[in-house]
Amino acid sequence: MATIKSILQENRIFKPNDNFVAQANLLNKKDYSSLCKEAEGNYENFWGRLAREYIQWRKPFTRVLDESNHPFFKWFDDGVLNVSYNCLDRNLECNSDKTAIIFESDEGNITNITYRELYLRVCQFANGLRSLNIKKGDRIIIYMPMSIEAVVAMQACARIGAIHSVVFGGFSAKSLHERIVDTAAVAVITADEQMRGGKGILLKSVVDKALTMSNTDFVNSVIIYQRTGTHIEWNSVRDTWWHQLITDKPDYCEPEWVSAEHPLFILYTSGSTGKPKGIQHSSAGYLLGAMVSMKWVFDYKSTDIFWCTADVGWITGHSYVAYAPLAMGATQIIFEGIPTFPDAGRFWKIIQDHRVTTFYTAPTAIRSLIKLGSELPGQYDLSSLRLLGSVGEPINPEAWVWYYEVVGQSRCPIVDTWWQTETGCHMIAPIPGVVSLKPGSCTFPLPGIMAAIVDETGHEVENGEGGLLVIKRPFPSLARTIWGNPDRFKNTYFPEDIGNKYYLAGDSAQCDSDGYFWIMGRVDDVLNISGHRLGTMEIESALVANSLVAEAAVVGKPHEIKGEIIVAFVVLKGPSPKGENAKQIAIELRNWVSKEIGPIAKPEEIRFGDNLPKTRSGKIMRRLLRTIGRGDEITQDISTLENPAILEQLKKSAI
């Protein structure tokens, strides 16, 4: 295959500053390279050592890795543990009175909860679940707002060995129904309503609607957390109030001791085609990955105030809200609302008010906050911050530099963390204090993660050439299968032509001459311009580097001669331009890209809009833009689209 061409030139480099280095967990290059060497030298011993160090085992394992049933790997297989025990009981000794969660509601009310209180609430609720006859291995759907209760629900499932599947509160009844049916869940945990940006969004009624659809007889119970007290329809057979369920329940609940491989949760991820995949994670391997990465990448300290802004409906909210922070005994922020309510300073105010040290968010949030008030962070005291993180998509260098200078005041390293729902935890990310940063690069694989870039036959490509991102050896936190569809798991992630048992991530990437990894986008999105294969990321970065542009997405449109031409959808920082003005700006931007990265990357067409079609986790849905770019009718599934109204506007945007 023709490898993917890399055209982005980014030469800025940011060395770790001395103050940060002086306090970092991995103090120097030597510690770091000795970890990498240890992993390369004896891979299984390396993970075995960490698993003994980080996890409290009920019964220790005797074998680290079983690869006999490739690609269904087993880790620490005969070990016995409980994940909730590792997150809660282990903190009773030293952290009992430490704040586990600082919850800030949409309207700004604050609730603090200590480790002891959280432990008691999880025990009570777990006993409540048991009283409904919910047992080890049963599947439970959680459809809740960001709340302490959502974490309690997840932890309580883990405590009794039930397998949770969290469905993001923004999903429709149809998506919820699909997940209820696919997991054959026996219970749904929800809330009457959720509050986002001052608006109430009914949740229980969506559950009711999903349960009137076909094939849901196996759902015996719906448990409702009362968030606002709004009226709900009541089904006397299956509905139970959360507060009534826990009344009189004992506040001790013996954990269900499970094997290391027992499924902890299923989380659905929608690929660009096909029905959503129920990604199934293990107990021990998953927990280990989440903990170790928290220590290394977030440089976690017991004095930190940690804030990951992700919803628990995404993997980021599983690993870095519901599990790793608790297992590490951290104090963390959980925020119910949205970054722009009551105004675009909300994130900065929360950081100031709670003295947040570690802030982890997505590039889409950063870009929208730049658009809505790039000067706002300056009005808050952000001096408590010591580390910033980014996740979810490539962060374009301009947004990176703004995040670094304006939010982090050139003091805080940015950890750009590449990973996926399937990998469970960070895979490629800088070790802060050790690795010098390049804006837009997620830098190097973590110790024990054997990442590489290969062509379609599985051969490694030269530095500077783009290709397919793979991980060459199994690692503990990798998903175990797709729920109910092991063949799809095998075919999607371990296709035979890649060979050598590599995990195929589905992203295109390149390594530069210093060995830094640069993610170029999803393989499905690669453009083919006059025989050159280009990733979307670099062209989009070039567009966003123009001072007029807030966001951009590029797609290919078939062309008789060139194969494909580039169509760019652009959101300006100001209002969308019209008529002559739009034409002028389009010319200016085409010339700009041509100058920044070369004529080959010059968008043939530019279309302006007030926004881009995004999934609810903030990912741009390029497949919809491709359809619009071609002028075709949209017939695809748009149930995961956050802002459907934008499609009509973009359809009319040709200039």
Interacting residue ranges for ligand WT7, rule: CB under 6 A: 269, 314-316, 391-394, 416-421, 442, 505-507, 519, 522, 617
Give me the least distance between CB of 290 and ligand WT7, in Å please: 12
The tokens describing 515, both together, are 């060995």
Element (H, E) at 209: helix 204-212
Q: Quick one: which of 212, 167, 161, 171 has its CA closest to 189? A: 167
Q: Quick one: which of 587, 652, 641, 636 has its CA closest to 618? A: 641
Give me the least distance between CB of 354 and ligand WT7, in Å please: 24
Nearer to ligand WT7, 470 or 586 (CB): 470
Nearer to ligand WT7, 223 or 479 (CB): 479
CA 478/CA 286 separation, integer angstroms: 7
Give me the least distance between CB of 644 and ligand WT7, in Å please: 20
CA dihedral 44, 46, 48, 54 (to 10 degrees): -150
Nearer to ligand WT7, 450 or 655 (CB): 450
Give me the least distance between CB of 19 and ligand WT7, in Å please: 25
Give me the least distance between CB of 405 and ligand WT7, in Å please: 20
Nearer to ligand WT7, 318 or 607 (CB): 318
Nearer to ligand WT7, 60 or 515 (CB): 515
Angle value at C-alpha 585, between 583 and 587, nearest 5 degrees: 70
Residue 450, classified by CB atoms within 10 Å of its CB into exposed (0-12), middle (13-18) or buried (19+), is: middle
Give me the least distance between CB of 441 and ligand WT7, in Å please: 9
Give me the least distance between CB of 6 and ligand WT7, in Å please: 14
Give me the least distance between CB of 390 and ligand WT7, in Å please: 6
Nearer to ligand WT7, 392 or 476 (CB): 392
Give me the least distance between CB of 613 and ligand WT7, in Å please: 16
Nearer to ligand WT7, 156 or 415 (CB): 415
Nearer to ligand WT7, 189 or 519 (CB): 519
What region, left, alpha or beta, does residue 107 occupy, with left being phi > 0 and alpha being psi -120 to 50 degrees?
Answer: alpha
| Closest residue to ligand WT7 using C-beta atoms | 421
Nearer to ligand WT7, 617 or 653 (CB): 617
Give me the least distance between CB of 360 and ligand WT7, in Å please: 10
Strand-pair partners of 241: 224
Say if residues 185 and 160 touch (Cβ distance below 8 Å): no
Strand-pair partners of 491: none
Q: For strand 139-143 and strand 163-166, is the pairing parallel, antiparallel, or unpaired?
A: parallel
Say if residues 385 and 359 touch (Cβ distance below 8 Å): yes
Give me the least distance between CB of 276 and ligand WT7, in Å please: 11
DSSP 493-552: HS-GGG-TT-EEEEEEEEE-TT--EEEEEEGGG-EEETTEEE-HHHHHHHHHTSTTEEEE
Say if residues 439 and 421 touch (Cβ distance below 8 Å): no
The residue behind tokens 């970054």 is 339
Nearer to ligand WT7, 41 or 271 (CB): 271
- Residue 238: how many other CB atoms lie within 10 Å: 15
Residues in the chain: 655
Listed in sequence order, the residues at least 6 apart from 103 whose beta carbon sits closer than 8 Å to its beta carbon are: 110, 111, 112, 113, 147, 148, 333, 334, 335, 336
* DSSP SS3 for 366: helix
